[in-house]
Chain A
Amino acid sequence: MDIGNVDYTTKIPNNVGLADDRRVLKALEGWHPGYIDWWMDMGPEGFQDALVYLRTAVSVDPKGWAKFDYVRMPEYRWGILLAPQDENRKVPFGQHYGEKAWQEVPGEYRAMLRRLVVIQGDTEPASVEQQRHLGKTAPSLYDMRNLFQVNVEEGRHLWAMVYLLQKYFGRDGREEADELLRRRSGSADSPRMLGAFNEATPDWLSFFMFTFFTDRDGKMQLESLAQSGFDPLSRTCRFMLTEEAHHMFVGETGIGRTIQRTCEAMKAAGIEDPTDIARIRALGVIDLPTVQKKLNLHYSLSLDLFGSEVSTNAANAFNAGIKGRFQETKIEDDHRLTGSTYPVLKLVDGEIRRVDEPALTALNMRLRDDYTYDCAMGVERWNKVIEKTGVQFKLELPHVAFHRQIGEFKDVNATPKGVLLDDEAWAKHRDEYLPSKSDGDFIAELMQPEMEAGKFAGWIAPPKVGIDNKPGDFEYVKIAA
């Protein structure tokens, strides 16, 4: 079959020859009903019957891989899509550097690989669960459609990981695939594996921040797994990355349109001081200091997803050729890291200092630095939006020591500027750094749905262009369908 195109003859669309792989096809078909149950239970609440203008992958060619059409979400064709195989691909790093990439799981790395696949897989349905109530307060049909697009694609990412588990990890893999449907975001009994994926996504500002920051963590993780010497994982992640780009687009433009609207409203009302919160909020827009606080929250939660700065697991995974660095193949070094060091921010005698650590164990730190750089560029684009309106305000990323639950700074209270505070001072100032209850109440009140085609809630500006180049009044979601 043509690997570039998707086979829709099987129940599960795929480009991995499932029609000829009866064992895996059967396993996936067995898993399918449980997935649909999960989607009906935990997918977007209240809109399962709506017709949504969604893109569906029809090939894995980076140009023109998707087609758009109205779909009811439960009927979305979730499928198994891997980037095309490169017959000559080599393991690009670690002790197996230069050896032929593996098409089967090496026995000694099976547990490590499975763990990575499970952790990645666990985040995908988690975000769908976190976002399931947001449809009801969508600021427009355009945004609602974007939310659902992200949701169905996270669902597809779950399929991607489940395919790997079912195909390559035997009985354990099948059990883990079932567990992925059993855990629930925020559940006391069986929570999702990572902290940030058990936090609530209470409003659309959180959703945009989440897709900007947390999906960007996903991008970094996928980028480093896309380097994997285990070729099926690499190919899976490479295709997932093409979808991930849209998720971050939703986040970045979502925040961009929010602050654009705020600045325009301020200007129109003649408010120059961005911290004149009461007057700005009275305009029905979200003041920039509150945006900054949301940013502080989501950035710090996402940093935790990178794990401890110095990590044996990360070192093992790199050395084994399982998980590489961001853009590994573009880095010019020995790709083994046995002799080099990498600077790590640590807490030394109560001070935040840079300490050189063996590069191999500092890989989480390195990936996190790459992430921070990526985030900072996005924040700069937001600042351009503000600057253009003439409002005097700059958003910025908080210090990496700020509000951390994992790693070197988990036991200290640092301000967004990186100044260490005692518990008392922290308690006093916390609400200046992180969204307070009243900030949350204000935003919640503002989140009034706008379901008329072409219209937008007052706190957010319309996008510059429509999805699939559709006109401004296009009906992205047919709710009553």
Chain B
Amino acid sequence: MAESERKLSNGATRIDFATDPSRYRHWKLSVDGDVATLLMDVDEKGGLFEGYELKLNSYDLGVDIELADALERLRFEYPQVRVILLRSGKPRVFCAGANIRMLAGATHAHKVNFCKFTNETRNAIEDASASSGQHTICVVNGSCAGGGYELALAADHIILVDDGSSSVSLPELPLLAVLPGTGGLTRVTDKRKVRRDLADVFCTTEEGVKGRRAVEWRLVDEVVSNTKLDEAVAARAREFAGRSDRPKDAKGIALTPLERRIGPDSRDYKFLSVEIARADRTATITLRGPDAPPPASVEAMVAQGADFWPLELARELDDAILDLRLNELDVATIVFKSEGNPEAVLAYDAFLEANKGHWLAREIRHKWKRVLKRVDLTSRSLVTLVEPGSCFAGTLAELVLAADRSYMLIGQMNGDNRPPAALALAPANFGAYPMSNGLSRLASRFLAEPYAVEQLRGKIGTTIDAEEGEELGLVTFALDDVDWEDEIRVFLEERASFSPDGLTGMEANLRFGGPETMESKIFARLTAWQNWIFQRPNAIGEEGALRLYGTGRKPAFDTKRV
């Protein structure tokens, strides 16, 4: 049962990440001055798949897609918003976490992708605070369990109602024999710095902790009685708003719907196309450079809004990656290509660099940062082909650095008059787009030679050809046109022949060298521990806890400790 495919609701054939507030079924976004409220009010009947009901504000991927969308809109459409209040629209329950019946019936791949996406969304909440001065206050009224508490943990400040019953809990282990999959354990120790033994008690107590003890154990920041709640929330909102540097009277831009054409084996956006070769198990993503020079001023950039090339492309890449992750599970390798003029790309980078103090330029950079992290965390082999006529410069050069391997063509192809392949670096490559380990992709690449990164600064703005690219270590191999096609074919065939699981593990290990951060730990532990536990009979076997949840029957565990 656990591995049989579930049917999407309402006859849908693919999971779509595009939505907007007029279509939300689970969230209500309202804005009052510099305070926004995100009200979670999950529609029980609004599950993404058939076969379960989203009771008690429990969530599935569909609920999280709306949340992720709302968070993006808060950053782009509401530059004036400094504080987000995360609240429940249901009485006596904040959020019961990820829907257990959904999990119990989901394929393993869906569970993993679901957890990954929800983690990325929680990280986006923290990123808004750290990078953009948009702080989140979570108001917990009623029970806040599992994924519900993990959502609260992403906030800057947690207010728990002190009514004798509202509580926070991580009941996954005692209840389901799995772990909180959305960073719960790591945030408890690393973010909230809960003492480890108290964390042990907390994570094994199904009903969780309420009232003063929740504050004493650092699980929440304050407890407030119901009658004083509005006052306390307003005061905290003022306090956090005061710490924000978001602009006071800027007008946001509308994140208009992406123009997409979705074919059986292709996706076409304005600046990006995806071609899926099913027999080869590859998906080729081709990014296209700008078709016009950057606008003359930030005002003109704001006027272009969602059409502004860097923003449009970032949104398209985000959508395409998520689409491949969730809807194209058989794709083994994602091949990145690009088309355009590297100089034109660098001109946009220079524009963003020159205006990085402007709220929109800042948001766009952070958007690229998040999208590139999404690429890093995609469990497919990533290869970038730097070919004649491509434009892997500046921001787009990050896709060369993000790839597990990159190949660059020396000179031109026989009979092709496009200019030879060229790479170019921009200041943005040196810190604007850190990976989840906290380092730039360049710094992650040259862990043994930090000075090499400094030397590369000297190359900013210059054109780097294939041989130099290989010499500098920016690409894996420089090949001439005699070897090119065959080498690439052999690589892709070999890649498709390896164990997908083995590759996922190996790539994740190799991509994130160097230091750990809370973020990198969360993803690593999700992959290592949770995904292991999710596969074990103690969770999903006939007698496993996840499988039996809701039946009233007691799981039978294999008692051997591994």
Are A95 and B164 CB-contacts (below 8 A) given A111-B207, A189-B225? Answer: no
* Chain A residue at smallest Cβ distance from B552: A315
CB-contact partner of A315 in B205, B226, B227, B551, under 8 A: B551
Chain B positions near chain A (C-beta within 8 angstroms): 162-165, 205-207, 225-227, 549-554
Are A319 and B552 CB-contacts (below 8 A) given A189-B162, A193-B165? Answer: yes
B-chain residues with CB within 8 Å of residue A115 when the two chains form the complex = 207
- How long is the Cα–Cα vector from A389 to B216 in the complex, in angstroms? 66
* Chain B residue at smallest Cβ distance from A411: B44
Q: Which of A414-435 contact B (CB under 8 A)?
A: none
Sample 29 A-B pairs with CB under 8 A, ordered by A number: A95-B553, A115-B207, A179-B164, A188-B226, A189-B162, A189-B163, A189-B225, A189-B227, A190-B163, A190-B164, A190-B225, A190-B226, A191-B163, A312-B549, A312-B550, A312-B551, A312-B552, A314-B552, A315-B550, A315-B551, A315-B553, A316-B552, A319-B553, A320-B554, A338-B553, A360-B551, A360-B552, A361-B550, A361-B552
A-chain residues with CB within 8 Å of residue B551 when the two chains form the complex = 312, 315, 358, 360-361
- What interface size band does chain A fall in? 20 to 34
Chain A positions near chain B (C-beta within 8 angstroms): 95, 111, 115, 179, 182-183, 188-191, 193, 312, 314-316, 318-320, 338, 358, 360-361
- How long is the Cα–Cα vector from A179 to B225 in the complex, in angstroms? 14
Closest chain A CB from B124 CB (angstroms): 32
A-chain residues with CB within 8 Å of residue B549 when the two chains form the complex = 312
* Chain B residue at smallest Cβ distance from A363: B552
A319 x B225 contact (CB < 8 A): no
- How long is the Cα–Cα vector from A457 to B206 in the complex, in angstroms? 52
* Chain B residue at smallest Cβ distance from A176: B164
B-chain residues with CB within 8 Å of residue A360 when the two chains form the complex = 551-553
B-chain residues with CB within 8 Å of residue A182 when the two chains form the complex = 164
B-chain residues with CB within 8 Å of residue A320 when the two chains form the complex = 554
A-chain residues with CB within 8 Å of residue B225 when the two chains form the complex = 189-190
- How long is the Cα–Cα vector from A179 to B164 in the complex, in angstroms? 7
Closest chain A CB from B333 CB (angstroms): 43
A-chain residues with CB within 8 Å of residue B226 when the two chains form the complex = 188-190
B-chain residues with CB within 8 Å of residue A312 when the two chains form the complex = 549-552
- How long is the Cα–Cα vector from A319 to B550 in the complex, in angstroms? 11
B-chain residues with CB within 8 Å of residue A188 when the two chains form the complex = 226-227
Closest chain B CB from A129 CB (angstroms): 14
B-chain residues with CB within 8 Å of residue A338 when the two chains form the complex = 553
A-chain residues with CB within 8 Å of residue B165 when the two chains form the complex = 193
- How long is the Cα–Cα vector from A361 to B163 in the complex, in angstroms? 29
- How long is the Cα–Cα vector from A361 to B548 in the complex, in angstroms? 12
* Chain A residue at smallest Cβ distance from B166: A190
A-chain residues with CB within 8 Å of residue B163 when the two chains form the complex = 189-191
A-chain residues with CB within 8 Å of residue B552 when the two chains form the complex = 312, 314-316, 318-319, 358, 360-361
* Chain B residue at smallest Cβ distance from A310: B550
User: 10 tightest CB-CB pairs across the interface, nearest first?
Assistant: A315-B552, A360-B552, A189-B225, A190-B164, A319-B552, A312-B550, A188-B226, A189-B226, A183-B164, A190-B163
Q: Apart from A315-B553, A358-B551, A360-B551, what are 9 other A-B pairs with CB-CB below 8 Å?
A: A95-B553, A183-B164, A188-B226, A189-B227, A190-B164, A315-B551, A316-B552, A320-B554, A360-B553
- How long is the Cα–Cα vector from A360 to B164 in the complex, in angstroms? 30
- How long is the Cα–Cα vector from A141 to B225 in the complex, in angstroms? 40
CB-contact partner of A319 in B164, B227, B554, under 8 A: B554
A-chain residues with CB within 8 Å of residue B206 when the two chains form the complex = 111
Closest chain B CB from A445 CB (angstroms): 32
A-chain residues with CB within 8 Å of residue B554 when the two chains form the complex = 95, 319-320
Closest chain B CB from A358 CB (angstroms): 7
* Chain A residue at smallest Cβ distance from B210: A179
B-chain residues with CB within 8 Å of residue A190 when the two chains form the complex = 162-164, 225-226
